[in-house]
Structure 1
Amino acid sequence: MTDAGEQDPRGTRAATTEADGAAPPVVVGTDGTPTALHAVAWAASEAVLRGRPLRIVHAGPYDVTRELSPGRRRASAVLARAFTVARRHEPRVEAHTQLSGESPVTALVHASADAELLVVGLLSGHPGDRLIPSIAPALTARAHCPVTVVHSDHDLSGAGRPVVVGVEDVDADAAALTVAFADAARHGARLVVVHAQHRAPAAGETLPLDPWRAARPDVPVEVRLVHGGAEEHLLRAARGARSLVLGSAGHNLAARAALGSTSRVLVRLAPCPVTVVRRDLDVTATGAPARSGAVGS
């Protein structure tokens, strides 16, 4: 039995658990591991902060039409545990669950089609974890919304810490900048914008951020123009951050290869949650995807 407006934590076969026209959810994937449950807790807090429902997705080779099969019972237990973790961590969250017979990557890419944010966990060395590390790069390349990767040892609060965004090119990384400014405003945080270049910055040199500053005048901004590789400087900035925001090139094969360099390393090694925003993603001022119709996979 669940509260009014909430779904049975054992899950359903529905492609989406929210009513038509409802607010886009924060989606989080779970496989029952400590890493995944850590990500569920983080996602629950983020959903409440955004005023969005939380959709918890578990996917695997299940026959979702057979209610009493052993696999279906195990999957229902995974979802029930994640539902409990979400509610205990954030009692105000409107939580829903979804069980899919698709592969985890396919199911989460499909779930991202109407989501505001997709959250996944990534292994950080916990002996009970068995998450496949490749799922995060695959999702950041293919998802239809920003993707946040949460490690099992990431601090869930981040209170008083800045949001950091890595910028290679202001125009190309416009979506990542919009998401980062929105995140900083939402959390009442300072925003640190890091731009690495192969020459020493000139005196007084900065980045053309006026449109974002004008839209978010309440967000204190620090611009760091640094000389050298982006990876080292962003890892250093992330050590004291609540989150790191990065742009990625897109969902085609070349884009996935590009993600395999700096972004892939940062997703794996950053000491804070990392949000990856595809450069071809159209986002609103709140950092949510701007959608005018159906989205394919």
Structure 2
Amino acid sequence: MNTPRDQHDQDEHLGVVVGVDGSRLGLDAVRWAVAEARLRGLPLQILHAAPYSAGSAAGLHRARDILARAFTVAHRADPGVQVTTRRTEHTATASLLDAARHAELLVVGMGGGDRPQELLIGSVALEVSGHAPCPVAVVRGGAHRPVADRPVLVGVDDVTADAAALTVGFTDAHRHGSGIVVLHARPGAAPFRARLAGHTEAARVAAWAELAGALAPWAARFPDVPLELALVPGQPASPLLAAAVDARLLVLGTRGRRAPARALFGSTSRAVLRRSPVPVVVVSPDTVRPAPEPVPAATAAPATSAEVEDPHDRSQLR
């Protein structure tokens, strides 16, 4: 049986890291993170940022209680996953970003309401997602029970710029045995909008073929993942949210930590993160390798098109 332990040193590789704050949203994130750790064959570290515990016996007691409760939730969700706990005396954002340097995946919870606690959690989730050096899963409030036959939805502005997000999306679909929907929008590009508006059938087919060709390397690398394309004109937020209703996971890319106009801080990504009905994984282009060398489009897999009470046991924690 796993037993929790405070881990103050940074491991070379932490696997999946989930941040908790004692809220229900944090425990929802723990449950989701346990399932991901199991599928990936990785350990799970539960992290709690507790600057309030510095020099305070009451604060330390509270922090240990939060970690013990989260550990119990994780262990009951899947006893086979190796779970450790860690407390820091730094802020939540700093602690999570530090852990992200050694993690394969960082998981945080996020609510959709206007209560002060949910707004604070949402602020941390947005800031961490914009700067983390690894993919960040933002788990929306509520119990999430993945449905195997629901696809991964990936929002794409530019295939080259969003290569890392596409790789994360295809890999996740392969891992879960599901399909993938790539939704492509180019707001502000008038000729592209005109083609997608369907003025001619030939133009619509050409736009679909252009996207399918750009995705050929991923289709060839993941031939077992059914691929569906969705082409939309204008702003992508509404189409993404509408398509997410039938998805298992939504994946978005950023423009990198040094870009002056990261997609994450735009209205589209903020709206999607705050309103998505499913967990959202945010991916920086610096985090993962893109697709393999391009292959001829003729060899790529065919794609379809679309228009678009938790217990805790403090006695186990040492």
Per the alignment, residue 167 of structure 1 pairs with 156
Identity %: 46
Superposition map of 1:180-191 within 5 A: 180-191=169-180
Check the 8 A contact 2:254/2:263 in 1, yes or no: no
Check the 8 A contact 1:249/1:259 in 2, yes or no: no
Deviation string 1:68-89 (CA, Å, 9 cap, x unpaired) is 8211111011000001111111
Per the alignment, residue 102 of structure 2 pairs with 114
Check the 8 A contact 2:130/2:265 in 1, yes or no: yes
Give distance in 2, aligned partners of 1:134 and 1:38: 17
Superposition map of 1:1-297 within 5 A: 3=2, 6-8=3-5, 11-12=6-7, 14-16=8-10, 18=11, 20=12, 24-63=14-53, 69-125=57-113, 130=118, 131-153=120-142, 155-197=144-186, 198-201=193-196, 202-204=203-205, 205-206=207-208, 207=211, 208-252=214-258, 254-255=260-261, 259-283=265-289
Distance 1:260 1:215, change over 3 A: same
Give distance in 1, aligned partners of 2:264 and 2:249: 21
Distance 1:60 1:284, change over 3 A: farther
Give distance in 2, aligned partners of 1:180 and 1:42: 17
Counterpart of 2:29 in structure 1: which amino acid?
A
Instruction: Give 1:129 shift.
Output: 5.4
Give secondary structure in 2 for the equivalent of 1:85.
helix
Give distance in 2, aligned partners of 1:73 and 1:49: 33
Give distance in 1, aligned partners of 2:14 and 2:47: 15
Q: Which runs of 5+ in 2 are unaligned?
A: 187-192, 197-202, 293-318
Deviation string 1:253-288 (CA, Å, 9 cap, x unpaired) is 7345752321111111110000000123343779xx
- Computing the radius of gyration from Cα coordinates, the structure with the larger value is 2
Give secondary structure in 2 for the equivalent of 1:108.
helix
Give distance in 2, aligned partners of 1:57 and 1:216: 33
Distance 1:220 1:42, change over 3 A: same
Give distance in 1, aligned partners of 2:64 and 2:122: 24
Distance 1:55 1:258, change over 3 A: closer
Per the alignment, residue 313 of structure 2 pairs with none
Deviation string 1:102-148 (CA, Å, 9 cap, x unpaired) is 10000000000010100000013498955532111100111110001
Distance 1:274 1:75, change over 3 A: same
Q: Is the deviation greater in 192-201 or in 260-269?
A: 192-201
- Please report the TM-score for the alignment, with normalisation by the length of structure 2: 0.80
Distance 1:128 1:196, change over 3 A: closer
The number of equivalent residue pairs is 274
Check the 8 A contact 1:15/1:111 in 2, yes or no: no
Give distance in 2, aligned partners of 1:199 and 1:28: 44
Q: Aligned-residue CA RMSD in angstroms?
A: 2.3
Counterpart of 1:109 in structure 2: which amino acid?
L
Give distance in 1, aligned partners of 2:113 and 2:147: 21
Give secondary structure in 1 for the equivalent of 2:17.
strand
Bigger RCO (CA 8 Å, 6+ sep): 2
Check the 8 A contact 2:148/2:177 in 1, yes or no: no
- Please report the TM-score for the alignment, with normalisation by the length of structure 1: 0.85
Give distance in 1, aligned partners of 2:176 and 2:116: 31
Counterpart of 2:75 in structure 1: which amino acid?
R
Q: Is the deviation greater in 195-204 or in 40-49?
A: 195-204
Per the alignment, residue 295 of structure 1 pairs with none
Give distance in 2, aligned partners of 1:137 and 1:237: 22
Give secondary structure in 2 for the equivalent of 1:249.
coil
